[in-house]
Amino acid sequence: MFLPLIAGGFFFGLGSGIAVVRGAALPKWLGWVAIVIGIAAIVPPASFPALLAFALWSLIVSIIVFMRLGSSEKASTAVPAPAT
């Protein structure tokens, strides 16, 4: 059952990394880190540490998204809408 876990880590890393690099919502370095971790997931001695690195990567990305979501809510409520 370890092989499907490794394959999932590989495809998750490549997929999310390419999406981040091509998009503009997150910093590009996060995408490159995800791609490197995804490739490391298929190397046998680095498979388990790479999967742990994905957990840390996911935590960092979720904090960045949460911080941006909080700042956009503050910005939208700070300026009242013009009356029509």
Consecutive 10-residue runs of the chain (84 residues): their mean pLDDT? 86 94 92 94 89 94 89 60 64
pLDDT at site 76: 57
**Which pLDDT value is given to residue 70?**
75
Return the pLDDT at 4: 87
Query: Of 60, 75, 7, 2, nearest to 29 (Cα)?
Result: 60
The per-residue pLDDT for 82 is 66
Query: What pLDDT score does 27 carry?
Result: 92
Instruction: Name the pTM for this structure.
Output: 0.78
Burial 19-37 (b: 16+ CB within 10 A, else e): ebbeeeebeeebbebbbeb
